[in-house]
């Protein structure tokens, strides 16, 4: 087959993958691994289709298999562009975009949902170009002559330990777990012992109950009560029946226990020690619970081999078949069940085709931080895109203290979208440099292509298969960039008319059927248990990223041994 015909054939199957990416990207709970597993199962019909369309060019068997594999590449790339649309509008992120508080929602509540989608599309496309420019330098660093990957293999356990520690320490929980204990800052003498006439002269400041102070953080309030305990001369405890609050003064005063006072002060909040530790302890528990599940699946002899499969021809890799219900339960079904409990109300969205309004230096920093964080996923086992998203957040300063919060949210949207897209490229590179599949999709490509996966050595001889896959990446990225704008605008305009709950129920039924077909009765059991574990993070208020312990913990034990 001549090169131009080969590129044409790869383009056709890449576009088929793009169509599959529309489904996996827009329908919560569907994942690229579903398509990858299905592509392996129907590899025969796909090869027949390729021969039907391009058999006139006399392709070799190797060329036909490579052409079919570009379907998976097109699906992966398109998915990383489009999966932010349901994350923004539906509040249904997958494992790769699973943060407990998504900046996209903050923009959505301001009518900037379409703006958030445009930012994610920009971040993904720029990360494609940056990641492609990094391929040769990374090849020289990770492969010959430096062989950095081989040198780092011995410390992968410690790298993963650092990543896990970082994720746990950055866990702050949400309002369910990290409750601020309010207190009052009061200026004396004006803030104490006011009369009702003086209080009425303070426009816009209304008396509030002590148990309502959490709703008025950083606001000036008036609180009536009795002195229940006198501390030092600069503080005392104010009580209303069963409610109490500490009042700190900027000067000395003398109050007797039992005295009735009216306090004008600023509400502040402080975290108790337990409030600091509880979210981290819960995150650690989620990590170990999911990790034990993954370890049992990987290490139990005959766990998958002794299972019964309804259609054995669909199962090409029994370990993948076991992990399919695990990930589907942890991130897919559990997310959909939570979504069923919500009734999202979307405000009227601002729709325009102007470029996103964000400072140029923030765009640059976000693209670089997201792409660099994506390298961790492509090279090191067990690190997910969600884990790298947290790293990108730290590197990119997506939510710094102070500054413009809206600008920070926009920057973070660019960074996290760049992580996922760059990861797809770096996993292809890792497949040809260290011959390791760092994602379910790349594992499917490895199974499908087989002997065509050859090491990139020496660096002047770029593998034929890798070149074709990178071409597929570029084509899919350009098409997906355009699709993100079109579909994002459609969601912004039409979302209120979409029967979302019916869609979710349909997807749930589809996933359960897929689990049964691919993983049998044991898969249904794994999926049920995984779903219960997957419900824990949103219910207790920690990030879903800790569920990646199902991979990280078994891998850590492997490298530790």
Burial of residue 303, with CB atoms counted within 10 A of its CB: 0-12 exposed, 13-18 middle, 19 or more buried: middle
Rg (CA), the chain: 27
Q: Does some domain include residue 349?
A: no
DSSP at 202: S
Q: Domain check: are 291 and 327 in the same one? A: yes
Q: Average pLDDT, whole number, for the chain?
A: 81
Q: Does some domain include residue 111?
A: yes
Q: Domain check: are 305 and 262 in the same one? A: no
Q: What are the start-end ranges of the H helices in 196-349?
A: 196-200, 273-299, 318-327, 334-341
Q: Does some domain include residue 162?
A: yes
CA–CA distances in Å: residue 136 to residues 130, 131, 144: 12, 10, 11
Q: What does the alpha-carbon distance between residue 544 and residue 538 come to, in Å, rounded to a whole number?
A: 7
Residue-wise pLDDT tens digits, 176-212: 444 567 888 887 776 776 666 666 666 667 788 998 8
Q: Does some domain include residue 218?
A: yes
Q: Domain check: are 326 and 260 in the same one? A: no
Residue-wise pLDDT tens digits, 213-223: 888 877 888 89
Q: Does some domain include residue 350?
A: no
Give me the pLDDT at residue 131, please.
95
Boundary residue ending a domain (241, 271, 301): 271
Q: Domain check: are 199 and 251 in the same one? A: yes
- Say if residues 547 and 282 touch (Cβ distance below 8 Å): no
**Element counts in the chain: helices (H) and strands (E):** 21, 5
Residue-wise pLDDT tens digits, 374-428: 887 788 776 766 666 665 555 544 444 445 667 777 887 888 888 889 988 999 9
Give me the pLDDT at residue 139, please.
94
Q: Does some domain include residue 352?
A: no
Q: Domain check: are 310 and 255 in the same one? A: no
Structurally, the chain folds into a number of domains equal to 2
Boundary residue ending a domain (242, 271, 300): 271
Burial of residue 216, with CB atoms counted within 10 A of its CB: 0-12 exposed, 13-18 middle, 19 or more buried: middle
CATH number, domain with residue 189? 2.40.50.140
Q: Domain check: are 101 and 226 in the same one? A: no
- Say if residues 327 and 549 touch (Cβ distance below 8 Å): no
Q: Domain check: are 261 and 318 in the same one? A: no
Q: Domain check: are 210 and 327 in the same one? A: no
Q: Domain check: are 256 and 283 in the same one? A: no
Q: Domain check: are 452 and 540 in the same one? A: yes
- Say if residues 370 and 396 touch (Cβ distance below 8 Å): yes
- Specify which residues 248 forms β-bridges with: 185, 235
Q: Domain check: are 209 and 62 in the same one? A: no
Q: Does some domain include residue 19?
A: yes
State the residue range of the domain holding 233.
Answer: 180-271
Boundary residue ending a domain (245, 271, 297): 271
User: Over the chain (561 residues), what is each successive 10-residue block's mean pLDDT?
Assistant: 93 96 81 81 90 93 94 95 81 43 63 88 95 94 90 85 85 55 80 68 75 82 86 83 85 82 82 68 93 86 69 56 79 77 64 83 87 82 65 50 64 84 92 87 88 86 93 97 94 73 80 82 90 89 83 85 63
Q: Domain check: are 123 and 184 in the same one? A: no
């Amino acid at each position: 087959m001549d090169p131009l015909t080969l590129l044409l054939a790869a383009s056709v199957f890449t576009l088929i993958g793009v169509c599959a990416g529309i489904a996996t990207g827009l329908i919560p709970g569907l994942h690229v691994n579903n398509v990858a597993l299905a592509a392996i199962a129907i590899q025969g019909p796909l090869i027949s289709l390729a021969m039907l369309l391009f058999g006139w060019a006399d392709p070799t068997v190797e060329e036909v298999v490579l052409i079919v594999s570009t379907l998976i590449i097109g699906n992966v790339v398109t998915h990383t562009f489009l999966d932010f649309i349901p994350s923004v509008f539906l509040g249904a992120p997958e494992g790769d975009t699973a943060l407990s508080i998504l900046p996209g929602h903050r923009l959505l509540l301001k009518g900037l949902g379409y703006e958030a989608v445009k930012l994610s599309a920009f971040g993904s496309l720029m990360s494609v170009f940056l990641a492609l420019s990094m391929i040769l330098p990374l090849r020289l660093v990770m492969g010959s002559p430096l062989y950095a990957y081989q040198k780092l293999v011995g410390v992968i356990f410690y790298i993963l330990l650092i990543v896990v520690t970082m994720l746990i320490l950055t866990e702050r929980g949400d309002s369910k777990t990290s409750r601020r204990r309010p207190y009052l800052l009061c200026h004396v003498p004006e803030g104490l012992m006011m009369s009702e006439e003086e209080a009425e002269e303070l426009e816009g400041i209304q008396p509030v109950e002590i148990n309502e102070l959490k709703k008025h953080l950083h606001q000036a309030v008036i609180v009536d009560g009795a002195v229940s305990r006198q501390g030092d001369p600069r503080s005392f405890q104010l009580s209303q029946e069963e409610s109490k609050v500490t009042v700190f003064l900027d000067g000395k005063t003398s109050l007797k226990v039992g005295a009735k006072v009216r306090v004008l002060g600023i509400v502040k909040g402080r975290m108790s020690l337990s409030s600091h530790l509880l979210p981290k302890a819960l995150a650690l528990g989620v990590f170990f619970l999911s990790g034990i599940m993954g370890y049992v699946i990987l290490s139990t002899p005959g766990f998958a081999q002794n299972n019964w499969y309804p259609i054995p021809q669909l199962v090409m890799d029994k370990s993948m078949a076991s992990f399919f219900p695990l990930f589907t339960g942890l991130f897919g079904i559990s997310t959909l069940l939570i979504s069923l409990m919500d009734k999202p109300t979307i405000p009227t969205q601002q729709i325009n085709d102007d470029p996103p309004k964000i400072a140029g230096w923030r765009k640059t920093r976000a693209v670089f931080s997201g792409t660099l964080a994506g390298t961790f996923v492509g090279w090191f086992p067990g690190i997910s895109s969600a884990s790298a998203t947290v790293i990108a957040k730290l590197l990119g300063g997506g939510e710094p203290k102070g500054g413009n919060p809206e600008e920070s949210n926009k920057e973070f949207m660019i960074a996290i979208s760049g992580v996922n897209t760059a990861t797809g490229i770096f996993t292809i590179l890792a497949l040809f440099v260290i011959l390791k599949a760092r994602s379910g999709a790349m594992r499917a490509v490895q199974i499908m292509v087989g002997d065509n996966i050859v090491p990139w050595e020496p660096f002047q001889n770029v593998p034929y298969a890798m070149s074709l896959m990178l071409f597929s990446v570029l084509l899919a990225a350009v098409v997906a960039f355009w699709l993100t704008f079109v579909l994002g605008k459609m969601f912004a305009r039409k979302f209120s008319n979409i029967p979302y709950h019916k869609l979710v129920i349909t997807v749930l039924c589809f996933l359960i059927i897929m689990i049964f077909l691919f993983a049998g009765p044991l898969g249904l059991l794994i999926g049920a248990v995984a779903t219960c574990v997957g419900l824990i993070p949103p219910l207790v208020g920690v990030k879903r990223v800790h569920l990646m312990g199902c991979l990280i913990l078994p891998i850590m034990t492997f490298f530790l041994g």
